[in-house]
């Protein structure tokens, strides 16, 4: 059970009570503590947190008029936020070129993150390059090359060279000659911390003098994540942590414990395999997320990145004129897919995380819809009214779907258009005008 579910359960015991008392605070803090420990927060840290929460809650006795459950949530949220560091921290980009060193265990998500960070910096207009220094896993070089191609970022690699320090130095020289301002160095990871790997990454650090060292850790590894973070920090004295795989069933506990144990900020979180699934770490949002309040702000930011404003305005105009057609719909589906995994997105909506936890939703749900739309002619897409039974048959055959499925799609699309029409009428009558402005 996730930390979020547990805490929701703990707060339930406070619901309906009109004041916070010694007794119900004691019972609830115990639940909170158990929830934190279950979510891999180190016991001592969990105890510190809950002791402080208890004190704060008791100090606020005066707030009897406020619903105690809500107040308690607020106290816990503030405390968790404070513990994870109150502000989101940026990375340091200094030097010519600036070097960002990426370290962590194999499978933690280093290579994927290196690609994501490169894509993010490129989007900000930076001249960025990737260096493949994982010489033990031959596939790692190819993986980085594929990612590089996908995001349009150059990857420096020397597949025959077995000296990671030398490759890294060549990469820097290459970057200097080719006007690259930032080099992201993806290093090797082993399955468990071992001396040779630590020595190598330490040597790379000495040789390159990076302005930023990021330690990547899989949030699903629980207490182990904390121990690994500790070991890496002792050797590398890294600047920040990247917490990966926060989609799916991974727990929030690692974020809390790592921050407490190594006293380094968490700078990024990764929530999926796609290049877009990278967010800056916001302690307050993470606390909200842990507490089941959803992560609407991240959702909105993700949407802003993926959606083209010009396109949105064009669509809005079409909707107003009742001209929204299947081509527009197809475009919308593609934009949603660009935002990342649909399940992750729904999970960011408050209250939805637990509800969809066990559901099998993924972007492939769009495939049959796209296939049917793609089997329509241009004319049909623009004027769905044209689609009679013989056309339906052709669309069904073309997309490998049944006529019933085609009918369902047409019906749903029609309902969507009716809804848009209704909103237009209401807006024209001034009812929605304010709300939609």
User: What residues form the annotated binding site for GTP?
Assistant: 104-111, 186-190, 244-247
- Cβ distance to ligand GDP smaller for residue 106 or 163: 106
Stretch that binds ligand GDP, among 242-250, 294-302, 368-376, 406-414 (CB under 6 A): 242-250
Q: Is 270 in the site for ligand GDP (CB under 6 A)?
A: yes
**Residue 222 binds to ligand GDP (criterion: CB under 6 A):** no
**240 is a site residue for ligand GDP (CB under 6 A):** no
Does the footprint of ligand GDP cover residue 245 (CB under 6 A)?
A: yes
User: Considering the complex, what minimum distance in angstroms separates the CB of residue 18 from ligand GDP?
Assistant: 43
Answer yes or no: are the C-beta atoms of 245 and 268 closer than 8 Å.
no
By CB under 6 A, residue 104 contacts ligand GDP: yes
- Of the pair 260, 270, the CB lying nearest ligand GDP is at 270
- Residues numbered 358 to 417 that lie near ligand GDP (CB under 6 A) are none
For residues 146 to 185, the per-residue mask of contacts with ligand GDP, x marking binding by CB under 6 A and - elsewhere, is: ----------------------------------------
190 part of the interface to ligand GDP, by CB under 6 A:
no
Instruction: Give how far the C-alpha of residue 77 lies from the chain's centroid of Cα atoms, to the nearest Å.
Output: 20
CA distances from 287 to 17, 264, 425 (A): 24, 17, 41
Binding status of residue 340 toward ligand GDP by CB under 6 A? no
Burial of 336 (0-12, 13-18, 19+ CB in 10 A): middle
Q: What values do phi and psi take at 429, rounded to 5? A: -80, 0
Question: Which tokens sit at 411?
Answer: 């019906």
Query: Is 269:242 a contact under the CB 8 Å cutoff?
Result: yes
The correct pick among 9, 95, 222, 248 for binding ligand GDP (CB under 6 A) is 248
Segment (H or E) for 156: strand 154-156
What is the smallest separation between the CB atom of 248 and ligand GDP, expressed in angstroms? 6
Smallest distance from ligand GDP to CB 233, Å: 17
Q: Rounded to an integer, what distance in angstroms lies between the CA atom of residue 156 and that of residue 168?
A: 9
The DSSP-derived string for 272-325 is: SSSTT-EEE--HHHHHHHHTT---HHHHHHHHHHHS-HHHHHHHHHHHHTT---
Which residues of the shown chain bind ligand GDP in the complex (CB under 6 A)?
A: 104, 106-112, 143, 189, 244-245, 247-248, 270-273, 277
């Amino acid at each position: 059970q996730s930390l979020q579910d547990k805490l929701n359960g703990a707060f339930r015991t406070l619901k309906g009570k009109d004041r916070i008392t010694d007794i119900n605070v004691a019972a609830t803090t115990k639940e909170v503590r158990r929830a934190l420990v279950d979510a891999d927060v180190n016991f001592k840290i969990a105890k510190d947190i809950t002791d402080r929460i208890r004190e704060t809650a008791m100090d606020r006795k005066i707030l009897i008029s406020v619903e105690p459950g809500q107040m308690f949530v607020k106290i816990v949220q503030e405390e968790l936020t404070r513990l994870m560091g109150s502000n989101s921290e940026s990375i340091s980009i200094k030097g010519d070129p600036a070097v960002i060193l990426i370290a962590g265990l194999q499978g933690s998500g280093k290579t994927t993150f290196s690609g994501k960070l490169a894509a993010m910096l490129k989007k900000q207009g930076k001249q960025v390059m990737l260096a493949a220094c994982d010489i033990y896993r031959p596939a790692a070089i190819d993986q980085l090359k594929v990612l590089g191609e996908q995001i349009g970022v150059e990857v420096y690699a020397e597949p025959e060279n077995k000296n990671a320090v030398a490759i890294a130095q060549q990469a820097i020289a290459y970057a200097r000659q080719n006007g690259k301002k930032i080099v992201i160095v993806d290093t090797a990871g082993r399955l468990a911390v071992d001396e040779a790997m630590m020595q190598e990454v330490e040597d790379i650090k000495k040789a390159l003098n990076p302005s930023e060292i990021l330690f990547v850790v899989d949030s699903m590894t629980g207490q182990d994540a904390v121990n690994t973070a500790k070991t890496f920090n002792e050797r590398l004295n890294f600047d920040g942590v990247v917490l990966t795989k926060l989609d799916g069933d991974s727990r929030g506990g690692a974020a809390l414990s790592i921050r407490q144990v190594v006293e380094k900020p968490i700078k990024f979180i990764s929530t999926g395999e796609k290049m877009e699934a990278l967010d800056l770490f916001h302690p307050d949002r993470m606390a909200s997320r842990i507490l089941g309040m959803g992560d609407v702000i991240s959702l909105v930011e993700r949407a802003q990145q993926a959606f083209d404003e010009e396109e949105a305005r064009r669509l809005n105009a079409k909707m107003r004129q009742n001209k929204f057609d299947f081509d527009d719909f197809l475009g919308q589906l593609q934009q949603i897919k660009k935002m990342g995994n649909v399940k992750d997105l729904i999970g960011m909506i408050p209250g939805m995380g637990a509800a969809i936890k066990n559901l099998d939703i993924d972007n492939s749900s769009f495939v049959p819809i796209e296939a049917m739309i793609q089997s329509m002619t241009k004319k049909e897409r623009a004027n769905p009214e044209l689609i009679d039974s013989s056309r339906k048959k052709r669309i069904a055959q073309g997309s490998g779907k049944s006529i019933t499925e085609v009918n369902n799609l047409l019906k749903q699309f029609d309902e969507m258009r009716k809804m848009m029409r209704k909103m237009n009428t209401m807006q024209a009558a001034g009812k929605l005008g304010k709300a939609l402005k």
